[in-house]
C-alpha cells in the first residue's frame, strides 16, 4: 500500500472511530433539597452512564469537587451511576478533591468519563429562600473555556 493510501485509510479509520464516541449531557438539579447530577437523557445507570471519574469546576478552573476510580467490572454493570449527589462519592470511588461550597451566580462546569465523556454547565441562584439551578449550554464559549481550565487543574491533581 502506498504512503498516500495508508494515510487516507488511517484518516478514514480515525473519523469512523471518532463518530462512535460522543459527549453525554449531565444536568444539575435538586433531589430532596441536595444538589445532584443526572443523566441528561433521563437514564439512571448503566452503559453509557457508568461513572469512572467526575468533577465539578468553577469558571476560573478551580476544582469544587472531584472523584475518580469508581469501580467498573467491565461487564456492562456499574458500581456507580447517576444520579450523583454533590459531595457524596460513589461507593469505592476515591475523592481527589473534597466538595467545597459553591458560589451563587458563578458558572460551574461538569466533566467526567464513563466510556464516553460527560459534560454540563450550570449556575446556582437564590430567589428569596429558594435555591435554584439553571443548566447552561456546555458548548458555549464561556463553558468551553472553563472546561479547558478545569481539565488542566484536574491533570495537576492526578
In tens, the pLDDT along 95-107 reads 999 999 999 999 9
Q: Does a structural domain hold residue 3?
A: no
> Does residue 93 register a pLDDT over 90?
no
pLDDT score, position 82: 78
Q: Does a structural domain hold residue 17?
A: no
Closest Cα to residue 40, out of 31, 30, 52, 49? 49
Q: Does a structural domain hold residue 5?
A: no
Instruction: Please name the helix (run of DSSP H) or strand (run of DSSP E) that holds residue 11, with its range, or none.
Output: helix 3-20
Which structural domain range is residue 58 located in? 22-157
pLDDT score, position 127: 86
> Does residue 80 register a pLDDT over 80?
no
Residues of the chain by 3-state class (helix, strand, coil), percent to 5: 20, 35, 40
Whether pTM > 0.85 for this model: the answer is no
β-bridge pairing 34-39 and 24-31: antiparallel
Q: Does a structural domain hold residue 141?
A: yes
Number of domains in the chain: 1
Identify the DSSP state of 72: B
Amino acid at each position: 500500500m502506498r504512503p498516500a493510501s495508508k494515510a487516507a485509510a488511517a484518516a478514514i479509520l480515525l473519523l469512523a472511530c471518532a463518530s462512535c464516541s460522543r459527549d453525554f449531557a449531565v444536568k444539575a438539579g435538586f433531589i430532596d433539597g441536595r444538589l445532584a447530577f443526572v443523566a441528561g437523557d433521563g437514564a439512571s445507570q448503566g452503559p453509557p452512564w457508568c461513572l469512572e471519574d467526575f468533577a465539578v469546576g468553577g469558571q476560573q478552573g478551580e476544582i469544587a469537587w472531584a472523584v475518580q476510580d469508581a469501580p467498573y467490572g467491565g461487564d456492562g454493570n456499574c458500581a456507580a451511576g447517576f444520579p450523583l449527589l454533590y459531595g457524596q462519592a460513589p461507593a469505592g470511588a476515591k475523592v481527589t478533591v473534597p466538595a467545597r461550597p459553591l458560589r451563587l451566580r458563578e458558572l460551574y462546569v461538569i466533566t467526567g468519563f464513563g466510556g464516553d465523556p460527560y459534560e454540563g454547565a450550570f449556575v446556582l441562584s437564590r430567589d428569596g429562600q429558594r435555591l435554584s439551578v439553571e443548566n447552561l449550554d456546555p458548548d458555549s464559549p464561556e463553558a468551553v473555556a472553563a472546561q479547558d481550565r478545569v481539565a488542566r487543574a484536574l491533570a495537576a491533581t492526578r
